[in-house]
Amino acid sequence: MESFFEHYQLEIGEQMETPFMNKNGVFQDGTTPMYRDTDGQLWAMSGHSHMGHIAMFCGTSLDDMQKMWPIETNFSIGHAEYAFLGIRYPEGILPRGSIWPFGLYICPNTHRFFCWFHNETGWNGRGTAYDAFGLCTEPKYDSDFRHVGLMHSDDEGKTWNFDRWVLTGEEAAFTEWYNPGAGNALGQKGDIVRFGSGDFSVFIEPEGDYIYLFYNIITMNLADENGKIWQTCDAYVARCRKRTDGNMGDFVKYYDGSFSEAGNLGKESLIVKDAWHPRVVYSVPEQMYIMTSKPIMKSSDMMKLPGMDEKRKVMQICVSKDLIHWSEPEIVYRDGVVWGNHYNAIISDDKDVPPNILASNRFSILNNHNGTDVFRYKTRLLRK
């Protein structure tokens, strides 16, 4: 596909505060999930479960959104002996750790809230956290394993019930070096390890039949002597059919040209290389999908770009006509230097459309780092 910046430029405004700030008790670590209900209210969730709290927010748009209440869960997190009601990961391992809400959907008929959340085995396990090497208090090289879980609420996000694990990598969530209670199941062998499905966002078709989940898989070479442990961090996609009866279906992964593999332990085909935490919106005026993400693989050429820092806090953009075939991601510049952060999300500013649908070429970009304040930048998309 053609270059995005050959045809467009972004006019990025000044930094503004959002409701998703540390002073409000939330420490957002990922992009902020949002959804508009059938009454026209825009809902959002912010925070994660082992720093501050997770809270619900509501308004007509980002302009008037306010914090409503901290959430409570009817299940425990943390230690593998009691977390997530003992509902095991699809690999048969007892679950553990925290929740990071990254996807939100509200059933139009029942007003049931659904939240998809990110989970990692190496954080907040309270003595049972593990990474590729064994038990840990903090994962070495970020080498812990990702899953996506589903929970629901029948009281507008005040209390949540855990449902099940809905997305898992093809490879087992452990290695030959450490078996976290998987019995006779075999862990990944060798130095090249993949760390499961996660670090995601959802795109919900307003009129279509599907909810799409765009996610990452990280690959590492744990024996690399040159310090290049991280090998790849690419984007993939799965989808589930929307329902309107208060139930939620299962995801099917995109693999080898079609949505054909199981969400849990199925195969997957990458759709965008080097795209950390992909997030997608649809532009009605331009009739194209826009994905924001971050390049995460360190290269000497990238580090020479004006304004680049060691953490590569920069946004990149690619576009698509079908959610599968994407243009090459291109880094965003502002005033001649690279611009963005670890997590980047485009959000509609309109009061009467879903947050992932751009009815005009005026919208906002939200960005943040790990557990930091989320800032807003009003933006215009200009045709060249």
User: How much is the average pLDDT of 140-163?
Assistant: 97
Task: Give tens-digit pLDDT for 364-375.
Answer: 999 999 999 999
Task: Give tens-digit pLDDT for 93-121.
Answer: 999 999 999 999 999 999 999 999 999 99
User: What pLDDT sits at residue 160?
Assistant: 98
Q: What are phi and psi of 24, to 5 degrees?
A: -95, 10
> Is pLDDT of 227 > 70?
no
User: How much is the average pLDDT of 120-140?
Assistant: 96
At 148, the pLDDT band (50, 70, 90 cuts) reads very high
**Least-confidence region, from 218-227, 244-253, 255-264, 268-277:** 218-227
Indicate the average pLDDT of the chain: 95
> What are the structure tokens assigned to 280, written together?
């997608």
Q: What's the 3-state SS for the chain?
A: CCCCCCCEEEEEEEEEECCCCHHHCCCCCCCCCEEECCCCCEEEEEEECCEEEEEEEEECCCCCCEEEEECEECCECECCCCEHHHCCCCCCCCCCECCEEEEEEECCCCCCEEEEEEEECCCCCCCCCECCCCECCCCHHHCCCEEEEEEEECCCCCEEEEEEEEEECCCCCCECCECCCCCCCCCECCCEEECECEEEEEEECCCCCEEEEEEEEEEEECCCCCCCCEEEEEEEEEEEECCCCCCCCCCEEEECCEEEEECECCCCCCCECCCEEEEEEEECCCCEEEEEEECCCCCHHHHCCCCCCCCCCCCEEEEECCCCCECCCEECEECCEECCCCEEEEEECCCCCCCCEECCCEEEEEEECCCCCCEEEEEEEEEC
User: What pLDDT sits at residue 298?
Assistant: 64
| d(C-alpha 242, C-alpha 95), whole Å | 27
| d(C-alpha 372, C-alpha 313), whole Å | 13
> Is pLDDT of 274 > 80?
yes
Closest residue by Cα to residue 294 from 199, 377, 167: 199
User: What pLDDT sits at residue 121?
Assistant: 98
User: What pLDDT sits at residue 296?
Assistant: 86
Task: Give tens-digit pLDDT for 58-91.
Answer: 999 999 999 999 999 999 999 999 999 999 999 9
Share of the chain above pLDDT 70, in %: 97
At 255, the pLDDT band (50, 70, 90 cuts) reads very high
Work out whether strand 113-120 and strand 146-153 pair parallel, antiparallel, or are unpaired: antiparallel
Report the residue count for the chain. 384
What's the whole-model pTM score? 0.96
> Is pLDDT of 226 > 90?
no
User: What pLDDT sits at residue 383?
Assistant: 94
Query: Position 142: which residue type?
Result: D
Cα-Cα end-to-end distance for the chain: 17
User: How much is the average pLDDT of 258-273?
Assistant: 98
At 2, the pLDDT band (50, 70, 90 cuts) reads confident
Task: Give tens-digit pLDDT for 298-355.
Answer: 666 777 777 777 777 899 999 999 999 999 999 999 999 999 999 999 999 999 999 9
